Structure 1
Amino acid sequence: MRLVIARCQVDYAGRLTSHLPMANRLLLIKADGSVSIHSDDRAYKPLNWMSPPCWLIEDRNIWTVQNKAGEKLVISLEEILHDSAHELGAEPGLVKDGVEAHLQELLAEHIGTLGEGYSLVRREFPTAIGPVDIMARDADGASVAVEIKRRGEIDGVEQLTRYLELLNRDPLLAPVRGVFAAQQIKPQARTLAEDRGIRCLTLDYDKLRGTDSDEFRLF
């Protein structure tokens, strides 16, 4: 990553035009090719930016960032106050409280969240195409496969659909119904799931974390 603090003005020409008058700003040039211009406020949001694929052409005091669509970000430099490059290395990713594995554990402990009379068969129920997050039985003893996501999108519905198609070929399990559970379910994903007969369940992570476990305990 390259960090440049400079007194500059920035002009964008593309589908629209915009202008940032001369001022001190931070320019971030990342290894993925993206360039963004920041002020000392607005939190993490840049004043202007160009997403990859794009390229930076430096011609003395005029830097031009251009993409394949012909859009240009022209940075006119009056003075460079700081210019440094840093190798950040591989990004391990953000680890969040409430990721899918933890949601799976919490829902398994509080299986009654699915409905009255539900019981847990097992977590990570194996299939030939990968494990189902939770296999449960409803009050009538019917099999229910649960796919859990932090954010429910169409890909998750498609994944659960494939599991259901495979599980329903097993006469010992069929019929198997599906539940798509997530902290947030996008409208398109909900529409697709309901069209396929899959029930959607929005998980309240804080409530799951704060309630007593449904598992049997000696004390």
Structure 2
Amino acid sequence: MLKITPIPALSDNYIWLIQHQNEVVIVDPSEAKKVLDCLAKNQLNPTAILLTHHHRDHTEGVPELLSYHPSLAVYGSSEVSELATRLVEPEEHFSLWEYDVRVIESAGHTEKHISYLVDNRWLFCGDALFSGGCGRVFTGNYQAQFDTLQRFNALPDWVEVYAGHEYTQSNLKFAQAVMPNSCVLFEYQERVDILRSHHKPTLPSTIGIEKQINPFLRAENLEKFIQLRQQKDNF
């Protein structure tokens, strides 16, 4: 069984460590020092880095990590080609240990954003999907982001969502403003507030939960999604 651990970084990022025995894969290392400290403290051996997109708050730590661990494989799309040693394409599959990893096209936030679905159970989605929200559409390609959300909607409810930022509280404020009142949303908000009051991560969420509390996943068409995303940009 894999163990997944968040390393809080910068102001609100998460670097995810996927651990199998004493080996780890690092997802979106925005800072190197915190990762290196965690590896040393827990006597862990890094084997690979997974990058979701090219923004510096997801890639900044890569060069320093490679200076300490030059044999690390770095997976990513063509937009991180200056860092990646293994370029991957949407719907490509590769293995981490004995686990299958599916690459999911997740464009919209950036042009070549990708997500990684490990063992059809753990989704590492960078800034394409947050709990209660989704990333800003910096490309202006709302169709691409809407299509990305439909791919996530098609995943099984049990899939756990490991997003790149701790944005849940602010996302849920918007969700409450645009969605009908529901017990599920109220209870989720309550749980999130308790976790944050103890400085604990609100992630992972699940696809099943997100289908109920995330207004962007619930947008029934492109027009509605654009309306919601533009509302959130100015919320």
TM-score (norm 2): 0.25
User: Which of these two proteins has the greater Rg computed from alpha carbons?
Assistant: 1
Which structure shows the bigger proportion of residues in helix conformation? 2
TM-score (norm 1): 0.26
